Structure 1
Amino acid sequence: MTETASAKRPWVAIVLSVVFPGLGHVYLREWLRTGLWLVLLFATAWLVIPPDLIPQETSYEAIMQASRNLPRDASFLILGLRVLNVIDAYVLARQTTRTDPVESGRQCPECGHDLSEADDDLTFCPWCATELESVEEAEADSRFKL
């Protein structure tokens, strides 16, 4: 069984995006979106943060003082972009989970879990308990649909 993007968990993408913008997209292997979010966030910060607020030294106290002096509009704009980044990573992870097929070929029609390693004589999905069609019934149905 090969691992697909359907194994990506939305909550991991959320946590990574909260830690650093674009990191959730890196987890999802969305390289273009990662770059676009980083460019958007850094360009916004460069445009809205006054140059006189940028500290000359890189001490903790200097950085904290600069962040306290940041204009309210700039803070809200950067926060809004961070929130949109987290939402985008979550939505993308959910879409990827729902749309990517399992490559093994046999999956539950209800929950989508991979059933290739389950017993062939199972009549239900071990994850969601949905009744499964037998292989013969599925083949017969597919012949009639043509």
Structure 2
Amino acid sequence: MTRKRPWLAAVFALVYPGLGHTYLRQWLRALLWFGFALVTVMVFIPQETFQAVESGGFSVYYEELSSLPFEVTLPILVVQLCNVIDAYWSALRNNRAAAATATAGEGEVRCPHCRRNVDDDLDFCHWCTNPIDTETAAQ
């Protein structure tokens, strides 16, 4: 398990819902956040706003979005904020689990040359190919 940067997961989640969870390799969670944000947008933004893209292009669409009342944008902002917070907390949980895994393996065999973990049934390091004395490498 690799450590991830929580602030980077939050920034990715801010850019697009589910993107922060994709960075964390939480595929199902990313898909759920993307779908939840999409459903929220489809429910709260009026259909005329979407039709403005077809008729007038991006500038008309931007004007339509700018004129939306606060009651319409609030649920979308809440979903976005919850997505960012969840991505940040998920990265923190991931890092705590990675730290716990790293400390749990204190009895592992390490190569005396490159200090990487190796399988205890090998008599050589598969990283640097040096021979390993298993009695001294376990220390």
The runs of at least 4 consecutive aligned structure 1 residues that moved more than 2 Å come to 56-60, 102-107
Alignment of 1:96-111 (within 5 A): 96-100=94-98, 101-102=101-102, 105-106=105-106
> Could you tell me how far apart the structure 1 residues matched to 2:38 and 2:28 are?
15
Per-residue deviation at 1:73?
Answer: 1.1
Amino acid at match of 2:69: P
| Structure with the higher helix share, 1 or 2 | 2
Alignment of 1:1-80 (within 5 A): 4-5=1-2, 7-54=3-50, 55=52, 56-57=54-55, 59-80=57-78
Q: Does the Cα contact within 8 Å between 1:53 and 1:70 map onto a contact in 2?
A: no
Aligned residues: 107
TM-score, normalised with respect to structure 2: 0.68
Q: Does the Cα contact within 8 Å between 2:49 and 2:61 map onto a contact in 1?
A: no
Q: Does the Cα contact within 8 Å between 1:53 and 1:69 map onto a contact in 2?
A: no
Once the two structures are overlaid, the 10-residue window that deviates more, 83-92 or 46-55, is 46-55
Per-residue deviation at 1:117?
Answer: 3.7
TM-score, normalised with respect to structure 1: 0.65
SS of the residue aligned with 1:102?
helix
Once the two structures are overlaid, the 10-residue window that deviates more, 13-22 or 55-64, is 55-64
The root-mean-square deviation of aligned C-alpha atoms, in Å, is 2.6
> Could you tell me how far apart the structure 1 residues matched to 2:87 and 2:96 are?
14
SS of the residue aligned with 1:21?
coil
What is the aligned partner in structure 2 of residue 94 from structure 1? 92
Per-residue deviation at 1:103?
Answer: 8.6
What is the aligned partner in structure 1 of residue 110 from structure 2? none
Per-residue deviation at 1:60?
Answer: 3.0
> Could you tell me how far apart the structure 2 residues matched to 1:50 and 1:37 are?
21
- Seq. identity, %: 34
Question: Gaps spanning 5+ residues in structure 2: where?
Answer: 108-113, 117-138
SS of the residue aligned with 2:102?
coil
SS of the residue aligned with 2:78?
helix
> Could you tell me how far apart the structure 2 residues matched to 1:34 and 1:45 are?
17
Once the two structures are overlaid, the 10-residue window that deviates more, 85-94 or 65-74, is 65-74
Question: Gaps spanning 5+ residues in structure 1: where?
Answer: 108-115, 119-138, 140-146
